[in-house]
Structure 1
Amino acid sequence: MERTEIINFEPLQYIVEGNMVVVLGREHQKVKRSGRELKQDWVQIYTVENDLITKMEEFATSEEVKK
């Protein structure tokens, strides 16, 4: 958070299968030092055991916002 400013963070869909939760979403962020803006689509995969997250994986694509 020291290097980027989150402009928008938006989980779009939740899929639950057993002890796995998959979250599809997108975000828009700004790099504070350069002012460059990026948009990302992402997938986060959580493994939940005893009501605690025991594993988290994230996959993302990034695209620079052209001004």
Structure 2
Amino acid sequence: MERTEIINFEPQQYIVEDNMIVVLGKERQRVKHSGRELKQKWVQIYTGENNLITNMEEFATSVDVS
């Protein structure tokens, strides 16, 4: 967070199966030193047990939109 500023963060879809939650989303970030903007699509995968998150993975793609 030292180098970028999040402009928009938007979870779009939640998929729940057993102890796993998959979240699909998108975001826009601004690079602080250059002002350039990045657009990302991402997937976050959460695994839980006893109402606690036990694992989290994230996969993302970035595109420079400046």
Identify whether the pair has TM-score above 0.5, normalized to the shorter chain.
yes
Amino acid at match of 2:10: E
Following the alignment from structure 2 to structure 1, what is the Cα–Cα distance between the partners of residues 65 and 41? 13
1:15-66 superposed Cα distances (whole Å, 9 cap, x missing partner): 0000000000000000101211100000000001111111000011100013
1:58 aligned partner: 58
**How high is the sequence identity, in percent, across the aligned residues?**
79
Unaligned segments of structure 2, at least 5 residues: none
Following the alignment from structure 2 to structure 1, what is the Cα–Cα distance between the partners of residues 63 and 24? 17
Moved more, 1-10 or 19-28: 1-10
1:12 aligned partner: 12
Following the alignment from structure 2 to structure 1, what is the Cα–Cα distance between the partners of residues 48 and 33? 36
1:25 aligned partner: 25
Unaligned segments of structure 1, at least 5 residues: none
Compute the displacement of 1:3 (Å). Answer: 1.3
Following the alignment from structure 1 to structure 2, what is the Cα–Cα distance between the partners of residues 63 and 2? 20
TM-score (norm 1): 0.94
